[in-house]
Structure 1
């Protein structure tokens, strides 16, 4: 699934790992989220990471595959909370 609006909203959030305000939309590297050889996972499984954290995550420098998947799941929950808070701020 591709969702350019969601990706744009993710990019507005700070890095979920270090807080850097200049973030990128980082897709999951897990097959369970639709990742395959040459195929990005669904845009539903995207988190904000700065360029440095994104590169480290994609190269498995933050942990092995299992550890990276566990981190991503936690960051995905945090991202959804951040998006919900941002949506609430936009209302008020």
Structure 2
């Protein structure tokens, strides 16, 4: 057999081999929302290191008034702070809490309203301290 390349059939128009409707864009390309990187969010988490427990749940807290090795950053469980489904709240809404208070906040038997009150009180105490520690403007001035 003779190897002949691509030969167009007479009488056929091959003006477009690809559909132009798929190449037309309905609108402009939108840029995606910039999500905070690990480095940007970790500064709020790093601020919690070496702090005392701010949740201070009565009858649960193991480190009232002093820094405890089990103190970690506790994220809010409220949807107004960005929590939803499998998403954690934004890193701005974290407070230092001991392991016992963190366990109580996430899995404890207390009603949700009580947990919201405890977290909001802890966040109100923590925000000015964190602002001074990180060199941010204080919440009262903002």
**Shorter-chain TM-score tier:** 0.7 to 0.9
Structure 1 residues not aligned, in runs of 5+: none
| Cα deviation code 1:16-68 (max 9, x no counterpart) | 1134523100000011111111100001110000111100111134x311111
CA contact (8 A) 2:74 2:102 kept: yes
Query: Structure 1 87/33 Cα, relative in aligned 2: closer, same or farther at 3 Å?
Result: closer
RMSD: 2.0
**TM-score, scaled to structure 2:** 0.54
**TM-score, scaled to structure 1:** 0.79
Q: Secondary structure of the residue that 1:48 maps to in structure 2?
A: strand
Query: Which consecutive aligned stretches of 4+ in structure 1 deviate over 2 angstroms post-superposition?
Result: 81-88
CA distance in 2, matches of 1:74, 1:27: 14
Structure 2 residues not aligned, in runs of 5+: 1-35, 57-63, 136-142
Match of 1:41 among 89, 95, 98: 89
Q: Does 1:66 align with 2:106?
A: no
Deviating more after overlay: 41-50 vs 18-27: 18-27
Q: CA deviation at 1:81?
A: 2.9
CA distance in 1, matches of 2:119, 2:49: 16
Q: Does 1:11 align with 2:19?
A: no
- In structure 1, the residue matched to 2:125 is 78
Q: Secondary structure of the residue that 1:14 maps to in structure 2?
A: coil
Q: Secondary structure of the residue that 2:116 maps to in structure 1?
A: helix
CA contact (8 A) 2:47 2:134 kept: no
Q: CA deviation at 1:5?
A: 1.1
